[in-house]
Structure 1
Amino acid sequence: MTHTAQNGFILTRHWRDAANGTEIEFWLATDDGPKKIRLTAQTSVAFAEAKQRAAIEALIGGQPGFELRDLELKTFEQEPVVGIYASRYKQLTALERTLREHGIKMLEADIRPPERYLMERFITAAVQFEGGQTQGATVIHNCKLKPAPEYRPKLKMVSLDIETSAFEDLYSIALEGCGQRQVYMLGEAPAESSQQIDFDLEYCATPRQLIEKLNAWFVRHDPDVLVGWNVVQFDLRVLQKNADKYKLPLALGREGKTIEWREHPGQKGYLFAPVVGRIVLDGIDALKAASWTFPSFSLENVSQAMLGEGKDIGDVYDKMAEIERRFHEDKPALAHYNLKDCELVTRIFDKANLLAFMIERATVTGLQADHLGGSIAAFGHHYLPRMHREGYVAPSVGDVSGGASPGGFVMDSKPGLYDSVVVLDYKSLYPSIIRTFLVDPVGLIEGEVADDPASVVEGVNGTVFSRTRHCLPEITTQIWKQRDAAKRAKNEPLSQALKLLMNSFCGVLGATECRFFNPRLVSSVTLRGHQMMKQTRELVEAEGYDVIYGDTDSIFIWLKKEYGNAEALAIGEGLAVKINDWWRTMLKEKHGLECHLEIEFDTHYRKFFMPTIRGTETGSKKRYAGLAVNAKGEEEVIYRGLEVARSDWTPLAQQFQQGLFTRIFKDEPYQDFVREYAQKTLSGDYDELLVYRKRLRQRLDEYKVNVPPQVRAARLADEYNQAQHRPLRYQNGGWISYVMTTSGPEPTEVVRSHIDYEHYLTKQLQPIADSILLPMHDSFTSLTTAQASLF
């Protein structure tokens, strides 16, 4: 027996049906090494309307393992329910299908045993376990688990990368982590080499031995976390392909378990690779989950941007040729190259604090650490157990229908060039609306059946919410307070994870895939935001200032004359105090509500430019640029929505826009810059800036009508690749780089025609110039046509 309470962090979760009921397994990271918690004879539960009890019992027909119980719970339609308990989860899901065929709805049958077990105990990722029976040093049976929210594990991480032929034949495997730097290389060691080896390099006679060595490495060093770059879709997939080819297991899981491959149900060819007892994190997905953005998520691009170094060996075909050369002529050099990828990934994880973020994200959401996305699942993990304690069971997906709800309020803008614009921003606008106006699924149901008008809060479009019976406002308040504490403690990963979860709630309620989908709920948040932004504009203009734009939670205020930073800050903060006081007083006196709305000073733009919609005099939306002073006291131009901030415009256009804005914001002459930039474009001086890089979002053969330029370029590229006996790169999508020529778009792999400079002048430079210059009564044409040689 073990009685001492210990803390652990859930790495992976699994379930299976056994003879005596469902078994749940959790692999934990603890201070004493990995532990496996096995909970046996677990009962699964779902719900159905009590009036269907007799029909359900008839359909069960005396099958063993079922029990129906009357419960003090009801549906959102106020119908009493019975609990349907099954000794095995697959029995429950089979019954759900049978009942559905007979027109009987079973509720919450889709919640798997591990998730049900954790959420009903308010456990997310960190647990305290006590009691149970031990089996060896690792396995504990039937202990008691409860939350341990303060515990954070020290995880052992390894970065993995492989090198292959163009046809995915395995050449080498590199591993960096757990105190090891290891490369396994196919072939014989060279008689001599000029390479200095500062890592373990072991040669293997066959590809089969490479896989065997990898399996043994995982047993010997036992990492908790496996990371890489595109590690599931490439490295693990190719390793599995080679393991299958040589008829041996790819046993990377704890206890020698193999990968439990699954394909994404809505994305053919996209794979998940659950590994028993280990977290698998792809660097690209982890960065995106943590809200990092890059024009390209290639390892070369990201490492250059974040670390200031990379290891590019030319384009993909030059790289492949160099890998082949090193494999056949200089294996130690290939080993260096292979291991460098691992090291770059490890350093990116460290630089971005990604592992800490993923740990905090799991602790916050209740999702497994390598379950990316999952906003709907995270919402359910927090909401369902609280909803049960309010006496309700959840509806099914599709119970509520309706169209899209209004989005954030975007004001019409006033285009032009301004001095001294301050931006005020509502802090976490949608969560603060949920807290203040008590927006909630249960609250809506309770509000609609309430008899006393004083017991409800009026929403928008006729909705009413209970003042006392609700769940989401408390959940949001708890997360809000946790985030404030994390910010005070300077725990940025936790603060970011909490912010992302809290800000996802409104969107989840508007997602048709969510069981709580209800357009009335979402509108109660977004339309309230509309009202707030309009009211804020009135309050600002009553102070004598001019609102020139507003977007969802931010309002842009022209102070009507030029101010220094300190003066503008004082005005902005003074406005914020007045607006917050107004909301606090109005909500208390008129509605009896505690105000959680808070507007803050965000930015002072010394110069600010709002462009027109291209080809019109109407102000654009979500597109602007401004000159501000950053935290270091340096002037910085901020771009939002403009071409310089978008990856689908060429570097030629982006650099032109940056140069033009910089001159205008600093009151420098811009006319000669425009003329010279156009002239140098025509002269070929900027040819390296002409490349478009765009994504192919479908298979090439799926483009039938209105074939865009990137698809035409990709088809030319793969025709060339086929003629060169190379693997085809673009048939299943991906990214393509191309230039516009007099013969149309041509891929950078094979440019045969002359560059179409006229295209770049009229489609890249002129639209950018005119969006800036026309409000200033100037234009690209008037500046460039004076030089006849340009055209």
Structure 2
Amino acid sequence: MAAEVSLLIQSKGFVLTRQSRDVRGTTEITLWVSTDDGPAKLVVQGDKPVCFIRQQDQAQAEQLLRQAGIAADWKSLPMKNFRHEPMTACYCTSVKDSLQVSQYLTPEGIEAYEADIRLADRFLMERFIRGGIAFSGVKQQRNGYQDFTQVKAKSADYKPVLSVVSLDIECSEKGVLYSVGLHSNTDSRVIMVGNPEEVKEAAPWIEWVESEKALLLALETWFEQFDPDIVIGWNVIDFDFRLLLRRAEWNGLSLRIGRGRQTPHWRQSTQNPQQGFLTLPGRVVLDGIDTLKTATYNFRSWSLESVSRELLGEGKAIHNAHDRMAEINHMYRHDKLSLARYNLQDCKLVSRIFEHTHLLDFAIERSRLTGVELDRVGGSVAAFTNLYLPQLHRAGYVAPNLESENWIASPGGYVMDSKPGLYQSVLVLDFKSLYPSIIRSFRIDPLGLVEGLLLKEGKEDDQAIAGFRGGRFHRKRHFLPQMIEELWAARDQAKREGEKAFSQALKIIMNSFYGVLGSSGCRFFDHRLASSITMRGHEIMKTTRELIEAKGYEVIYGDTDSTFVSLKTAHSAKQADTIGKELVAYINQWWRDHLRETYNLESALELEYETHYHQFLMPTIRGQETGSKKRYAGLVVKGDQEEIVFKGLETVRTDWTALAQNFQQALYHKVFHAQDVEDYVRQYVEDTRSGKHDALLVYRKRLRRNLSEYQKNVPPHVRAARMADEVNQKAGRSLQYQNGGWIEYVITLNGPEPIEAQQSPIDYEHYVDKQLKPVADGILPFIGKYFEEITAPQLGLF
């Protein structure tokens, strides 16, 4: 029966995946879209890849490409580069040819501008399509989706409801598949190699298959039947899918789990052999670790066990990798029901983490704001390019290419020398999104710089605004200030309406713009741009300090956008709040007046009263009298609730033991509450030496290189890892630490030893000297006490 064909159907949807390729001598862009009527495949044919060449180079470029057998169409445009040279467009007929243009022109000194922008990305960005898409075309109904050809598309405001499955595999140490867990709102099951007779109780949620090949075929059937938009997992690309594709190849299968029964494509990163990228047509694969990092989450450990315990308060029963492998093998042979439960539990944990953190909502909102793919890791440069490039073209400019060899560093954020001490009543005043507000206030913008530099000196008042390091910015011709203003307003609205995922996406995007402009990986990098932001920030922070001290208070520290103000004496919460609000109102008004009078600009600078620390410690650099930076602790009291905030100190560092962290938290509590500390310090040291705190002595550190690469300097965690793998080798187990990873170890009388193979007695004096003493020395001298005096043996009286 012939498929039904309809003409010129119009619809809306959300872009899931995008690819471009050459088909029969022309280009083809394929967009998979989620719509209210189900998945749709949009095919755009004949869209030509384009790059831009200086008009003066056109004749030579035409000859070079013709000699290389590359057919190209040329079109003069009313566009210029940032050096104001007229440009011409070079259109290729195939993606393959477009990828070779730079290879033939660059060696001859001819620059091909924007040649690196992929065809599908350009198609979407030039139409301002950011996730939401309106399209029309000829529709043909296929099995499970609608197929559109002759597609026309434009942007649309569309928020999708996407179906999600959490996937996790269990396998042997050699990678042979035991089972695949799948958890979604419509189905939750484990596909397992075995038979139901091996299980004593009924388990209808287990789908039994007779072989690994049958398992992979059942997985194909599941994807075709339940058809999820999103696949989530933990390390799901570099482990689960990598192994699934490897086992499919071994079994002679293609693993057709993409939409339209297409096959996944996995490719390894050229920069990181441990990282891969997956293309799954019609579906998006989101790795939990990468997506959390993109949303700016941070954890001591990125294992599913650790993250789920921190976020959800629950985890898995198996911790050690070798115990885990041995236990999985044992369960597969003797207790398949327990293995299936364990497999499905991992799937459910990942689903709950995504739900708890609203990660999918975050990814959707980021895509709707910037147009980057849902699964794009990081992506700040891509987001900026998507937003900025189409506007730049409409202003008559072609974007520059990367020129990292000419990269000049810009100053970092302002960090003031601190004044060490133990203080009462310290206020923290923060500039809200300082760098974005500087961009808004002083019109800092790539196009604004290009146009501003055209203006004659002395025209600053009515046409240009002076920046730093020779930067000058046009007052009217710019895009970035307006972009930030719109994002800022949207974020304020999102916060008012409690849309956390949307607010977080907006914050990350807005704050990334400075980082992008200061990155050599961005085509718009110019040290005059980045320096005009950071050096203006220095000026603002220094002036703000002078304004505060002129009011009779003491600024004891400043860091990027935060100013720490000592009120000099103890103040109640109400008194401190009053002073904080008065200072903020005064300084904001001062900046409004200053920018209006000096630059004829409206200020977007907004200082906020952030925190009142009732007690505050600014420590010295260890072993010195100089004040430290980015390290402090303070006591915050809100009603009946108290909290000690630690910044940069041992309590919040992953390379310190729980022994030191517990000691620090209790010791600081006592000092901040003016309680006696000597008995506590003495007893804690005594308990450590007697073995009462042995469970707290574990160091946990990451091996950032392969074990064999540590040659000259061999730190303790490397020595422990080598010992662990020597034990693994003798036990006939796979080596665990050769390619990096995390190692847990203790310091013994014979040096560092891994906790899974500890053989020697603990070196308690190491922990007293290297963990407890530095913590105590950070605070005790400020109250006239010293660790060595407190812990020295007591002399008896005769």
Distance 1:417-1:25 versus aligned 2 partners, 3 A rule: same
C-alpha displacement at 1:10, in angstroms?
Answer: 0.8
- Give the whole-Å Cα distance in 1 for the aligned partners of 2:615 and 2:167: 48
Q: Which position in structure 2 is the counterpart of 1:669? A: 676
| Most deviating of 239-248 and 751-760 | 239-248
Aligned-partner residue type, residue 597 of structure 1: L
What is the aligned counterpart of 1:682 among 689, 692, 703? 689
Q: Which position in structure 2 is the counterpart of 1:566? A: 574
What is the aligned counterpart of 2:538 among 518, 530, 534? 530
Distance 1:75-1:673 versus aligned 2 partners, 3 A rule: same
Aligned-partner residue type, residue 563 of structure 1: H
C-alpha displacement at 1:49, in angstroms?
Answer: 0.7
SS of 2:779 mapped into structure 1? helix
C-alpha displacement at 1:140, in angstroms?
Answer: 0.9
Q: Which position in structure 2 is the counterpart of 1:145? A: 153
2:111 counterpart of 1:92: no
Q: Which position in structure 2 is the counterpart of 1:723? A: 730
- Give the whole-Å Cα distance in 2 for the aligned partners of 1:64 and 1:417: 72
2:437 counterpart of 1:429: no
- Give the whole-Å Cα distance in 2 for the aligned partners of 1:196 and 1:555: 64
Aligned-partner residue type, residue 616 of structure 2: F
Contact (CA 8 Å) 2:198, 2:336: kept in 1 or not? no
- Give the whole-Å Cα distance in 2 for the aligned partners of 1:698 and 1:128: 48
Q: Which position in structure 2 is the counterpart of 1:76? A: 82
- Give the whole-Å Cα distance in 1 for the aligned partners of 2:435 and 2:159: 30
What is the aligned counterpart of 2:214 among 191, 209, 215? 209
Q: Which position in structure 2 is the counterpart of 1:368? A: 373
Q: Which position in structure 2 is the counterpart of 1:285? A: 290
- Give the whole-Å Cα distance in 2 for the aligned partners of 1:86 and 1:323: 54
Contact (CA 8 Å) 1:375, 1:504: kept in 2 or not? yes
What is the aligned counterpart of 1:333 among 330, 338, 345? 338
| Most deviating of 769-778 and 203-212 | 769-778
Contact (CA 8 Å) 1:2, 1:130: kept in 2 or not? no
2:363 counterpart of 1:358: yes
Distance 1:788-1:707 versus aligned 2 partners, 3 A rule: farther
Contact (CA 8 Å) 2:65, 2:104: kept in 1 or not? no
Q: Which position in structure 2 is the counterpart of 1:114? A: 120
Distance 1:167-1:507 versus aligned 2 partners, 3 A rule: same
Cα root mean square deviation, aligned: 1.6
C-alpha displacement at 1:217, in angstroms?
Answer: 0.4
Aligned-partner residue type, residue 737 of structure 1: E
Distance 1:400-1:578 versus aligned 2 partners, 3 A rule: farther
2:324 counterpart of 1:298: no
Contact (CA 8 Å) 1:178, 1:221: kept in 2 or not? no
Q: Which position in structure 2 is the counterpart of 1:647? A: 654
2:592 counterpart of 1:584: yes
Q: Which position in structure 2 is the counterpart of 1:512? A: 520
Aligned-partner residue type, residue 124 of structure 1: R
Q: Deviations over 1:97-143 (max 9, x none)?
A: 11112221100000001110111111111112234444545111133
Q: Deviations over 1:442-485 (max 9, x none)?
A: 11111111134431001123321111112221222222122122
| Most deviating of 355-364 and 392-401 | 392-401
Contact (CA 8 Å) 1:167, 1:727: kept in 2 or not? no
TM-score by length of 2: 0.96
SS of 2:534 mapped into structure 1? helix
Contact (CA 8 Å) 1:400, 1:517: kept in 2 or not? no
Aligned-partner residue type, residue 42 of structure 2: I
C-alpha displacement at 1:269, in angstroms?
Answer: 3.0
C-alpha displacement at 1:313, in angstroms?
Answer: 2.5
C-alpha displacement at 1:154, in angstroms?
Answer: 0.8
C-alpha displacement at 1:489, in angstroms?
Answer: 2.2
2:483 counterpart of 1:475: yes
What is the aligned counterpart of 1:48 among 47, 53, 56? 53
SS of 1:387 mapped into structure 2? helix
2:709 counterpart of 1:691: no
TM-score by length of 1: 0.97
Q: Which position in structure 1 is the counterpart of 2:135? A: 129
Contact (CA 8 Å) 2:9, 2:139: kept in 1 or not? no
- Give the whole-Å Cα distance in 2 for the aligned partners of 1:236 and 1:549: 49
- Give the whole-Å Cα distance in 1 for the aligned partners of 2:795 and 2:643: 36
Q: Which position in structure 2 is the counterpart of 1:781? A: 788
- Give the whole-Å Cα distance in 1 for the aligned partners of 2:140 and 2:253: 32
- Give the whole-Å Cα distance in 2 for the aligned partners of 1:89 and 1:163: 40
Contact (CA 8 Å) 1:160, 1:226: kept in 2 or not? yes
SS of 2:406 mapped into structure 1? coil
| Most deviating of 643-652 and 172-181 | 172-181
Contact (CA 8 Å) 1:20, 1:41: kept in 2 or not? no
What is the aligned counterpart of 1:701 among 698, 701, 708? 708
Q: Which position in structure 2 is the counterpart of 1:386? A: 391
- Give the whole-Å Cα distance in 2 for the aligned partners of 1:474 and 1:101: 39
SS of 1:693 mapped into structure 2? strand
Aligned-partner residue type, residue 263 of structure 1: Q
Aligned-partner residue type, residue 428 of structure 1: S
C-alpha displacement at 1:788, in angstroms?
Answer: 7.7
Q: Which position in structure 2 is the counterpart of 1:224? A: 229
Q: Which position in structure 2 is the counterpart of 1:105? A: 111
Structure 1 vs Structure 2: percent identity of aligned residues? 48
Q: Which position in structure 2 is the counterpart of 1:409? A: 414
C-alpha displacement at 1:56, in angstroms?
Answer: 1.4
Q: Which position in structure 2 is the counterpart of 1:320? A: 325
SS of 2:778 mapped into structure 1? helix
SS of 2:265 mapped into structure 1? coil
Give ranges in structure 2 of 5+ residues lacking alignment: 1-5
- Give the whole-Å Cα distance in 2 for the aligned partners of 1:640 and 1:462: 37
Q: Deviations over 1:316-354 (max 9, x none)?
A: 222222212211111111111111111111111111111
Aligned-partner residue type, residue 32 of structure 1: D
C-alpha displacement at 1:777, in angstroms?
Answer: 2.5
Q: Which position in structure 1 is the counterpart of 2:66? A: 61
- Give the whole-Å Cα distance in 2 for the aligned partners of 1:465 and 1:260: 46
